[in-house]
Amino acid sequence: MNSPLIEKSLDFATKIVLFYEEFSKTRKDTTIVKQLLRSATSVGANISEAVYGNSKADFISKLHISLKETGESIYWLTLLQRTKLIDYDFDTLLLLAEEIKRMLISSINTAKENTK
């Protein structure tokens, strides 16, 4: 399936995995970055699950989980940016996460409207 939301979430996960690899080389505590890795890769995984959901309610539920994981990712990115543990272009990652968040909200709203 060729979906802009799936593509953006995969791009986001890829960028986060690459960031994680770079951060790991600093030998600093990776607790926060591991949390980010989990939440950011979960976004796309749940979107992919939504596509193959058993029902419209399952589809909407999985998108809600993706939305929560996106919000969590934004939190961890913002925390990393504020702590300045590593010099990195967090703005690009945050913009991509915000774009995914907007797309998820729109998709959830559309799916809900189509169930009425």
pLDDT for position 14: 98
Q: How many whole angstroms separate alpha carbon 23 and alpha carbon 17? A: 10
| Three-point CA angle 50, 13, 27, nearest 5° | 140
pLDDT for position 53: 84
Radius of gyration of the chain measured on its C-alpha atoms = 15
pLDDT for position 1: 56
pLDDT for position 78: 98
Per-residue model confidence as pLDDT tens digits over 65-104: 999 999 999 999 999 999 999 999 999 999 999 999 999 9
Per-residue model confidence as pLDDT tens digits over 18-42: 999 999 999 888 899 999 999 999 9
Q: Which long-range contacts (CB under 8 A, 24 or more apart) does 19-23 make?
A: 19/88, 19/93, 22/86, 22/88, 23/85, 23/86, 23/88
pTM of the model: 0.94
50 Cβ partners below 8 Å, 6+ apart?
58, 59, 60, 61, 62, 63, 66
